[in-house]
Amino acid sequence: MEGIWRTPSGFFGALMSVDHKVVGRRYIVTAFAFLLLGGILAVLMRVQLAKPESTFLSADKYNQIFTMHGSTMMFLFAVPVMEAFAVYLVPLMVGTRNIAFPRLNAFSYWMFLFGGCFLWMSFALNVGPDVGWFAYVPLSSLQYTPTKRPDVWAQMITFTEVAALAVSVEIVVTVFKQRAPGMTLDRIPLFVWAMLVTSFLVMFAMPSIMVASTSLILDRLVNTRFYDSSSGGHPLLWQHLFWFFGHPEVYIIFIPGTGMVSAILATFARRPVVGYPVVILSLIATGFLSFGLWVHHMFVTGLPQLGAGLFTASSMLIAVPSGLQIFCWLATLWDGRPVYRTPLLFVIGFIVIFVMGGLSGVMVASVPIDTQVHDTYFVVAHFHYVLIGGAVFPLIGAVYYWFPKISGRMLSERLGRWNFWLAFVGFNVAFFPMHILGLIGMPRRVYTYTADMDWAHLNLLSSGGALIFALSFALLLVNVIQSLRSGTLAGDNPWDASTLEWATSSPPPPQNFDRIPVVKHRDPLWFDTESMPVVGGLSVERREVLLTSLAEAEPQVREASPEPSIWPLLTAIATTVFFIGSIFTPWAVLWGTPPMAVALIGWFWPAGHKEDEE
């Protein structure tokens, strides 16, 4: 059985892998590599701003760097890393042998990798985008930025969106159709619920940015004039399309974080999360509401006053589902018996930081307040509190929590504590002063400022905090490397956690589970402490997964799962050539498609399973 699910050996075998754990691991490592790169850019910016009129970076470099920082963190780190964890964990947590559409999954990873490398190679060649991660027109139009820089940005979006959409489809189908028998809707782990909601958000939000960025490329390449106000287009159209994606994007990053929090909290508070249905309904409500508040990014564009006021109310309303989740977590800690291991420390840090970010979010949702703080360092502080507090702290907690499962070895607790405290202190020292800087008049995206502005001391403090914060990530890296070399062996379930990924070995075998578990409780490993019931009947001769019904997870059919294949990689290469070519010439659409067609035909060529022909 292990033999038929194993990734083929050798270099070419590795390129052919369709194992969700192999792809997931690559995804996680790649996303963290981009975090490292984006983090280095952040440190460079903080060095530049540490003193007034610094000449450390030129205006041109600084503008490229802040654009690259935002684009890397949003498109190449935050969204992919959450999807990466889902790719690795969701099939294990729902008790199946591989993700749905595993070849699409491999394709998704290659697209993400190539898109990210494309952006960073462009930056290395001094063609890094310099129009902000939001690329507002008309600044990003051909007239005002006649270089290829905005094209690089817009096409990188296409790469990462293709990758994200593919993963979302896989996650939804895996959760809907491949759950272990008995895992009814109300027994799905909260992390899986969070990733399900996130996947739907991706599917509804990302098309908006793809339309936006593709129209921008068309405007620049073949002069279509979607955004040209002198020809009947309008620059605000860009802002609407961008933020219709851009605001749900925040929740695409934050909701997986809440799933991680719920998973970690249950394990280390030693009890299930209070209010399981409340948490799920909050996730779904957050998902819906997140599409109704994009306009709060546009309060100073001269909108009608009543309309803007309504978006204030809808923006603040999202505090209700977020608040409900926080209350459930607080109640869980209140009743539980907390075990203070590193993952729990990061979750506690998350609550302290994220609540502050949420409250400053309520402030920026108010139109009059926003007219002062919009595009200032107050907003920079706010969204770093929300995104780092709400997503990165849970994520680092998740790394400490699931690393033993993925690698088979424990991370050091001693380094973990140092890591947490440096991150917590460094983060607050770096970002809290920015609230004040924004209120005393410092706008965002300025490469320098004069000494008489009174911003120097707080900027220096913030830069110092940023260095401490950066150090905490260096410690994480050291911890991971040390543990891979000589960490304590983890065993199947080192934390005595309750969900199915801990029911198999660490790291899990290629087939995940020798026998598919049968789920009789929301916390299967706490419920069946002795032995777990399993279901038999899947082939041991070829790759098969068990499909179950949507609501009750009744077994329905045995379904073949694809073998390893080189075609997803070849398709990704063909698509990459097509995408990159088409920012230089429209003819790339013509000569770029035949290789893609060939690759896709190869990919979908019938495999001719015996059973299919019967």
Partner 1 sequence: MPVRMRTALVPFATLPLAACAGRQSALDPQGLQSNHILQTLFIFLIVAAVVWTAVVVVLCVGLLRRKRSADQPLALHQGFERTSGHVVFGLGLATLIIVLGLSIVSYAGQRTVFAKDEHALTLKIIGHQWWWEVRYEDDSPHQSFVTANEIRIPTGQPVKVELESADVIHSFWVPSLTGKMDLITGQKNELQFTAKNAGVYRGQCAEFCGLQHAHMAFAVFALSPDEYGRWRDHENQSATSPTDPLGKQGEQLFRARGCALCHTIRGTLAGGQLGPDLTHIGSRTTVAAGTLPMSSATLGAWIADPQHIKPGNNMPRMPLQSGELIALIHYLEQLK
Exactly one of 317, 534, 560, 577 binds partner 1 (CB under 8 A); that residue is 317
Residues numbered 508 to 547 that lie near partner 1 (CB under 8 A) are 523, 526-527
What does the alpha-carbon distance between residue 497 and residue 269 come to, in Å, rounded to a whole number?
11
Per CB under 8 A, does 351 bind partner 1?
A: yes
Residues numbered 94 to 153 that lie near partner 1 (CB under 8 A) are 130-132, 136, 138-139, 144-145
What does the alpha-carbon distance between residue 372 and residue 364 come to, in Å, rounded to a whole number?
9
Q: How far is the CB of 76 from partner 1 (least distance, A)?
A: 21
Residue type, 192: V
Residue span 160-179 as binding mask against partner 1, x where in contact by CB under 8 A, dash where not: --------------------
- Separation in Å, CA 429 to CA 387, 391, 463: 16, 18, 8
Who contacts 531 (Cβ-Cβ below 8 Å, separation ≥6)? none
Q: Which stretch binds partner 1 (CB under 8 A): 180-188, 349-357, 539-547, 563-571?
A: 349-357
Q: How far is the CB of 340 from partner 1 (least distance, A)?
A: 9
Look up residue 494 and give its two tokens: 């080192």
Q: Which stretch binds partner 1 (CB under 8 A): 38-46, 104-112, 362-370, 463-471?
A: 362-370
Residues numbered 229 to 288 that lie near partner 1 (CB under 8 A) are 229-230, 234-236, 266, 270-272, 274-275, 278
Q: How far is the CB of 409 from partner 1 (least distance, A)?
A: 25
Per CB under 8 A, does 577 bind partner 1?
A: no
- Under 8 Å between Cβ of 535 and 44: no
Per CB under 8 A, does 494 bind partner 1?
A: no
CA 298 to chain centre: 24
Residues numbered 192 to 231 that lie near partner 1 (CB under 8 A) are 229-230
What does the alpha-carbon distance between residue 495 and residue 497 come to, in Å, rounded to a whole number?
5
Q: Per-residue DSSP letters for 92-149?
A: HHHT-SS-SSHHHHHHHHHHHHHHHHHHHHHHHTT----STTTT-TTTTSTTT--SSH
What does the alpha-carbon distance between residue 598 and residue 354 come to, in Å, rounded to a whole number?
48
Exactly one of 113, 308, 399, 503 binds partner 1 (CB under 8 A); that residue is 308
Exactly one of 338, 555, 595, 602 binds partner 1 (CB under 8 A); that residue is 338
Nearer of residues 301 and 585 to partner 1, judged by Cβ: 301
Judged by CB under 8 A, how many residues of this single chain contact partner 1? 89
Reduce the DSSP state of residue 557 to 3 states and report it: strand
Q: How far is the CB of 69 from partner 1 (least distance, A)?
A: 13
- Under 8 Å between Cβ of 180 and 93: no
Q: Which stretch binds partner 1 (CB under 8 A): 30-38, 79-87, 109-117, 317-325?
A: 317-325
Nearer of residues 252 and 274 to partner 1, judged by Cβ: 274
Q: Which stretch binds partner 1 (CB under 8 A): 24-32, 356-364, 392-400, 549-557?
A: 356-364
Q: Helix axis angle, 235-268 relative to 393-407, nearest 10°?
A: 60
Reduce the DSSP state of residue 356 to 3 states and report it: helix
Q: How far is the CB of 316 from partner 1 (least distance, A)?
A: 4
Exactly one of 8, 13, 146, 323 binds partner 1 (CB under 8 A); that residue is 323
What does the alpha-carbon distance between residue 406 and residue 21 come to, in Å, rounded to a whole number?
8
Residues numbered 5 to 64 that lie near partner 1 (CB under 8 A) are 58-60, 63
Q: How far is the CB of 366 from partner 1 (least distance, A)?
A: 4
Q: How far is the CB of 56 from partner 1 (least distance, A)?
A: 14
What does the alpha-carbon distance between residue 375 and residue 297 come to, in Å, rounded to a whole number?
10
Angle at 611 between CA 606 and CA 3, to 5 degrees: 85
Per CB under 8 A, does 309 bind partner 1?
A: yes
Who contacts 45 (Cβ-Cβ below 8 Å, separation ≥6)? 57, 62, 65, 66, 69
- Under 8 Å between Cβ of 101 and 561: no
Per CB under 8 A, does 481 bind partner 1?
A: no
Dihedral sign computed on CA atoms, order 68, 74, 75, 77: positive
Q: How far is the CB of 166 from partner 1 (least distance, A)?
A: 32
Q: How far is the CB of 145 from partner 1 (least distance, A)?
A: 8
Q: How far is the CB of 65 from partner 1 (least distance, A)?
A: 13
Exactly one of 445, 484, 551, 601 binds partner 1 (CB under 8 A); that residue is 445
Nearer of residues 47 and 330 to partner 1, judged by Cβ: 330
Q: How far is the CB of 331 from partner 1 (least distance, A)?
A: 4
Per CB under 8 A, does 505 bind partner 1?
A: no
Q: How far is the CB of 376 from partner 1 (least distance, A)?
A: 7
Contacts 24+ apart (CB under 8 A), 455-462: 455/52, 456/51, 456/52, 458/433, 458/434, 459/49, 459/50, 459/51, 459/52, 459/433, 460/50, 460/51, 461/429, 461/433, 462/46, 462/49, 462/429, 462/430, 462/431, 462/433, 462/434, 462/437
